[in-house]
Chains A and B, each alone.
Chain A
Amino acid sequence: MQLLELQNLKKYFATQKAVDDISFTINKGSIFGMLGPNGAGKTTLLRMITGIFYPDSGEVIFNGKKFDPSSDFRNIGYMPEERGLYKKMKIGEQAVYLARLKGLSHAEATQKVKEWFVKFEMQSWWNKKVEDLSKGMSQKLQFVTTVLHEPNLIILDEPFSGLDPVNANLIKDEIFKLAKKGSTIIFSTHRMEQVEEICDHIVLINKGKKILDGTVNNIKQDFKENIYKVGANILPEHLMTYIFEVVKHEDHLVLIKLQHDATPNDVLKHFINQGVEIHSFNEVLPSINDIFIQLVNGTTNAREFQNIQ
């Protein structure tokens, strides 16, 4: 069951094709990773999903209907990359205000804010101002204000930047809990290890175009290079064969790349025939980080300015 569907979205600015014909779908309850180098068009895409920008062409289908900001604002929580809060406003008051802007009643908002403040041990902050908070603390507050109204779709742009490991874990756990409860989460980042850990499904965007789309496992399978890790006491003479190529050889460890149509069984047979005792044998899948670098590296690093008529 899909919650969000983007159909051929385009948004051109004066000197950039920020988003150039991007389509994908996001399933309900999934944690969806949106990756891309700086300036790829992620923020513009997110702004179109949240209704802040109108696409030049294409459509956003939300919950089976065409996205309508005035009724769907309530169902979306957006945490932009650049955090924003009123510095001089009291924290409790501010959280309640932002929740009410989403459509909660005063009583409902106050109650929810109190619950979340207890959960994150922030009760003592109520009458403080945002300018009194450290960066990590205001990050937590921002997260609370984003998810407070229990939106169907939560959009988090770099949610862990500036957080210490303890607080990052706290938020990560909340993200999993929210997904379990049925919220869909879009998670935009360029920290790849977080993506592998958290996301079910990812898209990779570069220069305004989608260049990769799939589940983390499928993508890794697609990009695997038939590399295996063999744990055994191997001497150089054992490696004289055409079925694999040695990538790396250490004392008790060999990384090999299968050649031609060779299968893992062929490798095992080869070693067993040679009388080598094998302790371990694993396939090595590429990390998302490697795939990312491989895909993005071929292109120029920074986006160039271009004239768009």
Chain B
Amino acid sequence: MNKTFLIIGREYFSRVKKKSFLITTILVPLVIVAFYAIIIAVSVKGSTSETKLAVIDEAGLFSDSTLSESKVLKLTFIKNETEQSFTGKYKEQGYEGFLYIPVFDISKQQKFVVHSQSSLSLSNNIAIEKYINKAIENKRLIAKGIDPAVFKSISADAQVDNTIDTKEGSKKGSAGVAFAVSFACGILIYMMMIIYGTQVMRGVMEEKTNRIAEVIVSSVKPFQLMLGKIIGIGAVGLTQFAIWIVIMVVLQSAIPLIFPDMMQQVTNGAAADVDENMMATITQGLSSLPLLKIVSLFLFYFLAGYLTYASLFAAVGSVVSEDQQEAQQLVFPILMPIILGFVIMTNSINNPHSNMAVFGSIFPLTSPIVMMGRITYDIPAWQLIASMVSLIATFLFFTWVTAKIYRTGILMYGKKPSWKEMLKWAVKKG
């Protein structure tokens, strides 16, 4: 057992001390934060560039309603022009395009045309449709003898908030935050299983092609070497998580201090679209979630899922030689259930109690990822227990089988063994 710790130590420190570990560990959160900052900057700054559009309103559609000016879209009414005559002119006059409204029957469905040199942006398209709809509604109200002002005073704008009742009291929930947490957990486990699983495979291949494996297995049992590698690399993954979380927390709390103006702008800008302060929603949404349960389930499924798959990756690494292509072929069947799990996970966030989601979160090959999709919802206890028990059983079974394949494979050189041969190694006694 002592020797296994030695191996774990080597696997762990040889990776953590590498420059590339330091760089990725620090760069990834920085990239995410930079990405954040760019999105915020774009959404704040983007509103200053405006599109100038001309309108030829032959039907007099906008005669009754006043156009509310928008920052992004500036509309100018043009008189004494027709669609044909203006088509050649609008560019010279400094318009990016023009909207043509012919005379039409107000009670019927109607299509309108915007002429422009380059295609209209989606947001402008939506804004124009909104103006037209509003104007048509106004016309129709007047036609029915209803005062638009009266209509406005009676039309409602209801909002639904979600309150989650727990033993500790009621909290305000947020479906959006719950969705984000689920998705983030799922994608993290998905990425970690693939990234660290591949690292295990590469490590085993390296030992095999370097022929150090033969030296080491004359000192320790092959199983100790395999286990040491898997645990050591898993510990690297956990370290990376821990560092990321610390960096994230520090940066999140540091940003408002460093850029107070920017946050001011963001909240102002956001206030126009979202009724409430976005930050408050996120904090409230987060506090409504059972965080302790989520963190512990996440850690459990990350570890159990990683261990289950890592032993498979180790077995693949042990049977192939230097050929990367051979490794890819063998890795494919391992990646399939991981990807399937990811697909089911994205689906089960929206339908957490569907048959597919329940099956996916119990089936051990997909459960580590799929369970994350359901993590913010109330999962029946029997499903959790069934899922955990089957995952642990699978992990033990896989480790037992792959250890045998590993033991034989790591000392075999030359041709890649066939599935039949590997099966023989796996069932062979002793």
Contacts and interface: CB of A to CB of B under 8 A. Distances in A.
Interface residues of B, number: 21
B88 interface: no
A83 B6 CA distance: 22
Interface in A139-164: 145
A85 B215 CA distance: 8
Interface in A50-72: 50-54, 69-70
Interface residues of A, number: 29
Interface string A63-96: 0000001100100101110111111110000000
B239 interface: no
A80 B219 contact: no
Interface string A102-129: 1100000000000000000000000000
Interface in B334-366: none
B211 A84 contact: yes
A100 interface: yes
B217 interface: yes
A61 B213 CA distance: 25
Interface string B125-168: 00000000000000000000000000000000000000000000
B212 A85 contact: yes
B3 A83 contact: no
Interface centre among B210, B214, B215, B411 (most CB of A within 10 A): B215
B430 interface: yes
A78 B218 contact: yes
B416 interface: no
Contacts of B211: 80, 82-84
Contacts of B220: 73, 101
Contacts of A88: 14
Interface in B408-430: 411, 421, 430
A70 B218 CA distance: 10
B220 to A, nearest CB: 6
A78 B215 contact: yes
Given A14-B421, A88-B14, A97-B10, A102 B212 contact: no
A98 B213 contact: no
A87 B421 CA distance: 31
A103 B220 CA distance: 10
Nearest to B219: A101
A190 interface: no
Contact of A86 (B210, B221, B411, B430): B210
B162 to A, nearest CB: 53
B6 to A, nearest CB: 6
Interface string A171-196: 00000000000000000000000000
Contacts of B221: 69-70
B212 A100 contact: no
A80 B430 contact: no
Tell me what chain B mostly uses at the interface: helix, strand, loop, or mixed. helix
A52 B411 contact: yes
A50 B3 CA distance: 17
Interface centre among A52, A79, A82, A145 (most CB of B within 10 A): A52
A84 B430 contact: no
B210 A84 contact: yes
Nearest to B215: A84
A47 B411 contact: yes
Contacts of B215: 78-80, 84-85, 98, 145
A82 B221 CA distance: 20
Given A83-B211, A84-B210, A89 B14 contact: yes
Contacts of A73: 218-220
A85 B218 contact: no
B216 interface: yes
Nearest to A49: B218
Nearest to B220: A101
Nearest to B210: A84
A88 B217 CA distance: 19
Contacts of B207: 84
Interface in B189-224: 207, 210-221
Contacts of A86: 14, 210, 212
Contacts of B218: 50-52, 73, 76, 78, 80
Interface centre among B212, B213, B218 (most CB of A within 10 A): B218
Interface string A291-308: 000000000000000000
A159 to B, nearest CB: 14
A54 B430 contact: yes
A51 B430 CA distance: 13
Contacts of A103: 3
Nearest to B211: A84
Contact of A102 (B210, B219, B421, B430): B219
B216 A85 contact: no
A31 B238 CA distance: 50
18 contacts: A47-B411, A51-B218, A52-B218, A69-B221, A70-B221, A73-B218, A78-B214, A79-B215, A80-B214, A80-B215, A80-B218, A84-B207, A84-B214, A85-B210, A89-B14, A100-B6, A101-B3, A101-B216
Which 3 residue pairs are nearest across A and B when measured between Cβ atoms? A84-B211, A84-B212, A78-B218
Given A78-B215, A80-B218, A84-B214, 6 more contacts: A14-B421, A52-B214, A73-B218, A82-B211, A84-B210, A88-B14
Interface of B: 3, 6-7, 10, 14, 207, 210-221, 411, 421, 430
Interface of A: 14, 47, 50-54, 69-70, 73, 76, 78-80, 82-89, 97-98, 100-103, 145
